[in-house]
Structure 1
Amino acid sequence: MSTTKFTSTSRPISTMLIILATILGCRNHSNVVAEHITWSHYGGSPDQSKFFESPSITKSNVEQMELLWSYPSGDDRFYFFSPIIVDSTMYVLGKNSSLIAINAKTGEELWIHADLPGITRRGINYWESEDKKSKRLLFTLNNSIQAIDAVTGKSVMDFGNNGYVDLREGLDRDPTSITRIQPMMPGVIYENLLILGSAPGEAYFSPPGHVRAYNVVTGKMEWIFHTIPHPGEYGYETWPKDAYKYVGGANVWSEISVDTERGIAFLPIGSPTYDYYGADRLGSNLFANSLVALDAKTGERLWHYQTVHHDLWDYDLSPAPQLLTVDKDGKKVDAVAIATKHGFVFVFDRVTGEPLFPIEEKPFPKSEMPGEESWPTQPITSLPSFTRHEVTKENLNPYFSDSLRQDWLKRLDSAKTGLYVPPSDKYETIMMPGALGGANYGNTAADPRNGMMYIMTQEYASTYRLSKVEPPKNELTENDVDKVKSLYGSSCIACHGSNMEGGAGPSLKNLGHHMYYEEFRNTVINGKGVMPGLVHVDEASLKALFRYIGGDPERRSFRRSNQQAESVDGPVVASGGVTIPPDLKRGAPMQDYPEGVEQPEDQYTTDYGLDWPGLIDPPWSSIVAYDLNEGTIKWRRPIGIDSLYAQGGETKGAPNGTQRKGMVITSTGIVFATAKGGKVYALDAENGDVLWETTLSHETNAQPSMFTLDGKEYLVINATSNFRSDSYDHSKKPGAVAKGYLVYGIPDKK
């Protein structure tokens, strides 16, 4: 089965693309430099390469790096936010969910737009007009898109409908049934367009993850790409009839990369719902789990490649597609490379979509679940894998106690493990890597000039066992108390503590008094921050759990609007964003198949099985450098420090677990990388040797940034997370720096 496909239009698009490639050729060095001298996007530039022109920080002087100044964040709710820097202004998320503009040289606050609860926490978008007279920050907030003037900090009221765009509209579903659609990530700016993904959740009947582009000036939706095709569209036949009416997901929840010269947007599309059981979506399921190249101006599909057919393992395409020039068979080829959760790298000609390295469809085990039809083959690239694919008795964690080791030996006797083993209700499946293994969002970077791609990966297994979904109860009983305690003990206690006073996660003590059930339900089902969504929890148990933390499910919520935020000192210029009308409130989510649609007899679910980040022997986390000119792994460097399994010291290559880390690649051949235990490294891009390292006072879970000011380069790190129980708490050391945004550089000579 051929999986690289071009659009079927009346014009000869393939020929046109090849001619375009010949005319443009590969990008010259001056173009590469021009795109990578600022950090106004999440990944630095629209190509999301995390590559930066940094002539003043070199391999010979990087060891002089010091903390120059820091900006305190106020609390720990912003640990995923990645700052962007424009000219001499840095934009951060801080105290009381406020967007804050600060002087990038001194840390002085310029303005504060306070009180934006519900804002996408991983980053924002910046846009400016060609004449630079109009400058905007665009972000999503409570299922809306809003814009703030980047100079004044005030809401742009002529954007959209009185200052907002309703993201629930335009998806061919009842808008009131969409409980969450706003993306986790900030999207990408291309010319006057904001190209946006979504995070609709992973439950049955979640909304579809169609990708949309909005005009940054007017807020008008300019185009939509149906990731779950509608009748008459390419790929519709890869689903059951009318699947687009009830299947959800197939969304871009991570980084969209754009080739700005050619106007091509590259979408890393995720899994369809439900992730682990697909009896209601038989077929290969385009465009789920696909790298899709679109005309960035129109949304027209140019080509695609599906990396997993009929996904049953939550193997989203999570990291940014990397755009780089490779020397292939003596010719310079502009390529796009995508790394996957399950440890593979696929590389294509950026314009034509032709694979640059062979890919073979190989057979894998058949599902035994009723009604399920797993796809008989899956694509395997000839490039070396960067993860292991099996948990065995021989590679179990050597630091396990004897009793724990014996327990796992017994589990392995009855479980199945290996690449593409379908989940089952008859036995446990142990997937390596699992839902959070391999490469995830923010975990890829590249030097676009020389064909080098860098992947941050972790060896993290998931353990699955399907169970039948039972009808929800209409009333709570006394027995539900035991069920809730069991749910809390299995899914919450590790982060929130036995007494609900917190630990790695925040305190839940009397949290129900301070939030509404709607927000609580959304958080538990869809996940938030490092917390994965618990899609298997029924409504009755959710309400019981909410009462368990002091809440009242019947208490109605309301939307605060434009009121002065409390406890925010400084130059507050606005508060609360724009007023969102009551009709934007969420209604009841879709709970069943549309009338007349064929459906399986039962539904099955499983949790994410994330209890064992260090199940196999170390290293658990590494940076892998791929030479895509040769198709080889050039070097591998374990990163991070973990104390959970250490004997007589600390262990390198620590499991990140649900934490997120990032990289910056410099033009001088340095890889800056963050890692577990508050570690920051400067590695030699040629061989992975450590040139400099430091340990932060708090953990970091955001993408680092770089910027240039007055001819000098600076590295910015968001260090606002608590250390987990399996790491040493460096915040207790004398001289620890407060939680906040840290700016490193080479100090001026005195």
Structure 2
Amino acid sequence: MNPQKIKFKFFPFLFYSICLSILFSCEQSSQKRSLSNWTHYGGSPEQSKYFNAEQITPENVNRLEVSWIYPTEDNTPYFFSPIIVDTLMYVMGKNNSLIALNVKNGQEVWIHSNLNGLTRRGINYWENEDKSDRRLIFTINNTIQAIDAMTGQSIVSFGNDGYVDLRAGLDRPPSSIRRIQPMMPGVLYDDLLIIGSATGENYFSPPGHVRAYNVITGEMEWIFHTIPYPGEFGYETWPKDAYKYVGGVNVWSEITVDSEKGIAFLPLGSPTYDYYGADRIGSNLFGNSLVALDARTGKRLWHYQTVHHDLWDYDLSPAPQLLTLNRNGKRIEAIAIATKHGFVFVFDRVTGEPVFPIEEKPFPPSEMPGEEAWPTQPISSLPKFTRSEVSLETLNPYFPDSIKEVWNTRLSEAKSGLYIPPSDKYETVMMPGALGGSNYGNTAADPEKGIMYILTQEHASIYKLNKVEPPKLDMSVGQINRVKTLYKASCQTCHGAEMEGGVGPPLQNIGEHLFYDEFSNTVLNGKGQMPGFVHVDEETLKALYRYLGGNPRTFNFRRNLETKEVEGPVVASGGVKILPDENHSLPMADYPEDVVHPDVRYTTDYGLDWPGLAAPPWSSILAYDLNQGIIKWRRPVGQDSLYAKGDQSLGAPGGVLRKGMIVTSTGVVFTTAKGGKLYALDAENGDVLWEETTSHEINAQPSMYTLDGNQYLVINATSNFTKDSYNHSKKPDAMPRGYVVYSLPKKQPAPNGLR
């Protein structure tokens, strides 16, 4: 190769890097004392979503206006939560590209394009002491990777040629694991990335062990076995071989770190399988537990299990909140966790002692063969913030008579109530169901005042267990005909008669570049404007996946999503190259040969097809005063044209899922809700101080920063409205899909030099 060509090709990037370094240096020195950052998903490792600034107050918040907008320039809904460091904001857009923006005006500084498979909800920022090394740490396609925060270039010295394989180190063949990276970015403590996983919720999913990796080398520093191994604490709460085949018990959401005390608080999820546990008899530590670890070593300090032997998918998913309480004249440094089923548990964050009493109360046994529901469950003495059942008296009054008649019959034959075990003989109507209650992103705090803010939704699940049939890899003629009928009735209108695409994307050979778990979740729960088809049973779903070119049991970890040319200052594309596996293993589909196990397995769908089953309010925000142990105020939020008929006092079904909050030191609580709703509430009483309806749905955690004394609110408004909400993007004055930045009007210079 011609050396002159090498020099010429390298010079523009070298010049660009030098200019960018000068930009950082100059802007940093001039604004270091006047800029506050939002460097983590929840603002800081404490995940409080709390921001200390003085400009925006309850008195002037109603004057907020759009300062600038960054359009994402495609029709992709992004769930990404922006982070802000110094004068750069990092966002996702333009065909899954990571983009650095100038916080003053939204101008692009650099673009790393086509990061297909990047964790949907955010990234981490790390810097060394003298800021000579600045890194963006993130997960993509089951790996951890790092990008230089100044240049946008991949850091190839990280890990093994630029990446760490998250499938390794779990005592199962790495190539057999289809899905492990979390939907959240993890959290940083010093030079460690502490990270959970999204294992899926099927039988034989991978275990959700929590790990910490060095952000410089990529080396795994510690691992905490959430499903204990022989000799480890909690091992006796499982069958002796459970660690070989049970999955889940994972942190798929938000990890909280007390940076001063060096404690990481893990909100752990349910063991698999979620609704039938005959193969995991016992209380199942550390499932559904709040676990405190030494953040440096991963050593367990204390734990508390909020659900024993979970049969209801009651994961702990919202971020645990650090608060300083003044209780009976005593100052308590506490940790509080809100749950999907409407309880708040509060502990001394160092000792794990409950601050408010918790009582073990008896609940009904299971009627399923081989199942042993735990005889008692912990009940907090604090006020419950959700209902626990659906009855004929609490049925949605907006239903037409025909629907009421159907549900009068179904409820008379079903069982509903707290901790009713699922059955194959009748429907179990759980309130709240799998979506909560309080879910991920749904907690925030004013740490010094001892107030926790909770977003909650009254969303029931209807469960009925069905026997799992042995897997069939070959499709029969009957299956093919059934799938063709399903496709024609439910899919063809949007995706085309030949799967070529139309209103929806093409589906030809989708199984070659989409995990089965992702495919099934999309079909069952919907995505964007696509509704969920919860009536599709597991066998038909797997047949549909095979019909579209996939195999539910075939390893398909490396995704081959479309790459596109992206306009703007593109410095790199696609992250580092991930090497193909030398060996391919099928995902675990049965128990190990030497393990005693039940002869029959049962499953159910999530039962999410009736979000407004009970009477309103359906979604609310509430302030929980944990000094006194009372709910200080509650306000319905969200708007849903089908169920609420425009009455904003009712909230909206599913109105706060995927939403977030910001609490300011001046007493303003910003929250998002269904229907593109953005509120500013008075922290003292919940009164609405300001309200905005964005042109696209908001499905991400908001962010905030200050620059030169001005305070900015950042909203990701890139999602599609569901079919039961008004589509505000069709309004004549609709803003483009993108990141919207609000601020107070800038002060105008006084005339004639007067002050």
TM-score (normalised: structure 2): 0.89
Q: Does 2:59 correspond to 1:64?
A: no
Residue in 2 aligned with 1:20? none
Residue in 2 aligned with 1:28? none
Any gaps of 5 or more consecutive residues in structure 1? 1-33
Letter in 2 for 1:90: M
Q: Does 2:595 correspond to 1:600?
A: no
Q: Does 2:643 correspond to 1:645?
A: yes
- Seen in structure 2, the aligned counterparts of structure 1 residues 657 and 472 have a Cα distance that, compared at 3 Å, is farther
SS state at 2:516 partner: helix
Letter in 2 for 1:740: G
CA distance in 2, matches of 1:637, 1:38: 30
- Seen in structure 2, the aligned counterparts of structure 1 residues 478 and 111 have a Cα distance that, compared at 3 Å, is same
Q: Does 2:139 correspond to 1:133?
A: no
Counterparts of 1:126-525 in structure 2, within 5 Å, are 126-484=125-483, 493=490, 499-500=494-495, 511-513=506-508, 515-517=510-512, 519-525=514-520
1:631-678 CA-to-partner distances (Å, cap 9, x unmatched) read 000000000111102457666311126841110000000100001111
CA distance in 1, matches of 2:557, 2:400: 51
- Of the three residues 696, 716, 732, the one matched with 2:714 is 716
1:546-573 CA-to-partner distances (Å, cap 9, x unmatched) read 4655879999979689x99523000000
Any gaps of 5 or more consecutive residues in structure 2? 1-32, 749-755
- Seen in structure 2, the aligned counterparts of structure 1 residues 547 and 226 have a Cα distance that, compared at 3 Å, is closer
The answer to whether the 8 A contact 1:641-1:650 is kept is yes
CA distance in 1, matches of 2:524, 2:317: 16
Residue in 2 aligned with 1:677? 675
SS state at 2:581 partner: helix
The answer to whether the 8 A contact 1:521-1:542 is kept is no
Residue in 2 aligned with 1:617? 615
The answer to whether the 8 A contact 1:392-1:412 is kept is yes
- Seen in structure 2, the aligned counterparts of structure 1 residues 685 and 277 have a Cα distance that, compared at 3 Å, is same
Letter in 1 for 2:352: G
Letter in 2 for 1:479: G
Letter in 1 for 2:609: D
Residue in 1 aligned with 2:728? 730
- Of the three residues 732, 739, 742, the one matched with 1:741 is 739
Residue in 2 aligned with 1:49? 48
- Seen in structure 2, the aligned counterparts of structure 1 residues 90 and 375 have a Cα distance that, compared at 3 Å, is same
Letter in 1 for 2:247: G
Residue in 2 aligned with 1:571? 569
Large movers: runs of 4+ above 6 Å: 486-489, 532-540, 550-558
SS state at 2:479 partner: helix
Letter in 2 for 1:140: T
1:208-248 CA-to-partner distances (Å, cap 9, x unmatched) read 00000000000000000000000000000000011000000
Measured on the aligned residues, the alpha-carbon RMSD in Å equals 2.7
CA distance in 1, matches of 2:687, 2:677: 15
- Seen in structure 2, the aligned counterparts of structure 1 residues 534 and 229 have a Cα distance that, compared at 3 Å, is farther
SS state at 1:642 partner: coil
SS state at 1:523 partner: helix
CA distance in 2, matches of 1:463, 1:442: 24
Residue in 2 aligned with 1:96? 95
- The answer to which of 75-84 and 610-619 deviates more is 75-84
The answer to whether the 8 A contact 1:516-1:556 is kept is no
CA distance in 1, matches of 2:559, 2:550: 20
Residue 484 (structure 1) shift: 2.7
SS state at 1:237 partner: helix
Residue 583 (structure 1) shift: 1.1
Residue in 1 aligned with 2:687? 689
Letter in 2 for 1:439: S
CA distance in 1, matches of 2:574, 2:133: 22
1:236-293 CA-to-partner distances (Å, cap 9, x unmatched) read 0000011000000000000000000000000000000000000000000000100000
CA distance in 2, matches of 1:555, 1:43: 36
CA distance in 2, matches of 1:518, 1:239: 36
Letter in 2 for 1:399: Y
CA distance in 2, matches of 1:507, 1:418: 44
- Seen in structure 2, the aligned counterparts of structure 1 residues 631 and 735 have a Cα distance that, compared at 3 Å, is same
CA distance in 1, matches of 2:674, 2:547: 33
CA distance in 1, matches of 2:399, 2:112: 49
1:317-354 CA-to-partner distances (Å, cap 9, x unmatched) read 00000001001110111100000000000000010100
Residue 521 (structure 1) shift: 1.7
CA distance in 2, matches of 1:685, 1:659: 21
CA distance in 1, matches of 2:536, 2:713: 42
Letter in 2 for 1:71: Y
Residue 513 (structure 1) shift: 2.7
Residue in 1 aligned with 2:30? none
Residue 517 (structure 1) shift: 3.1
Residue 483 (structure 1) shift: 3.6
Q: Does 2:627 correspond to 1:632?
A: no
Q: Does 2:700 correspond to 1:705?
A: no
Letter in 2 for 1:57: I
CA distance in 2, matches of 1:87, 1:660: 27
Residue in 1 aligned with 2:22? none
- The answer to which of 74-83 and 55-64 deviates more is 74-83
CA distance in 1, matches of 2:246, 2:374: 18
Letter in 1 for 2:404: R
- Seen in structure 2, the aligned counterparts of structure 1 residues 620 and 609 have a Cα distance that, compared at 3 Å, is same
Letter in 1 for 2:267: P
Residue 510 (structure 1) shift: 6.3
SS state at 1:519 partner: coil
1:362-406 CA-to-partner distances (Å, cap 9, x unmatched) read 000100000000000000000000000000101110100000001
Residue 519 (structure 1) shift: 1.5
Residue in 2 aligned with 1:38? 37
The answer to whether the 8 A contact 2:382-2:629 is kept is yes
Query: Identity, % of aligned pairs?
Result: 68
- The answer to which of 357-366 and 647-656 deviates more is 647-656
The answer to whether the 8 A contact 2:510-2:549 is kept is no
CA distance in 1, matches of 2:315, 2:81: 22
CA distance in 2, matches of 1:222, 1:678: 42
SS state at 1:152 partner: coil
CA distance in 1, matches of 2:467, 2:496: 33
Letter in 2 for 1:106: N
Letter in 2 for 1:615: L
CA distance in 2, matches of 1:320, 1:121: 17
- Seen in structure 2, the aligned counterparts of structure 1 residues 560 and 386 have a Cα distance that, compared at 3 Å, is closer
The answer to whether the 8 A contact 2:636-2:648 is kept is no
CA distance in 2, matches of 1:508, 1:173: 41
The answer to whether the 8 A contact 1:166-1:584 is kept is no
1:467-511 CA-to-partner distances (Å, cap 9, x unmatched) read 00011224212321454367669xx95xx7854479xxx978563
Letter in 2 for 1:437: G
Residue 586 (structure 1) shift: 6.2
Counterparts of 1:16-35 in structure 2, within 5 Å, are none
TM-score (normalised: structure 1): 0.90
Aligned residues: 708
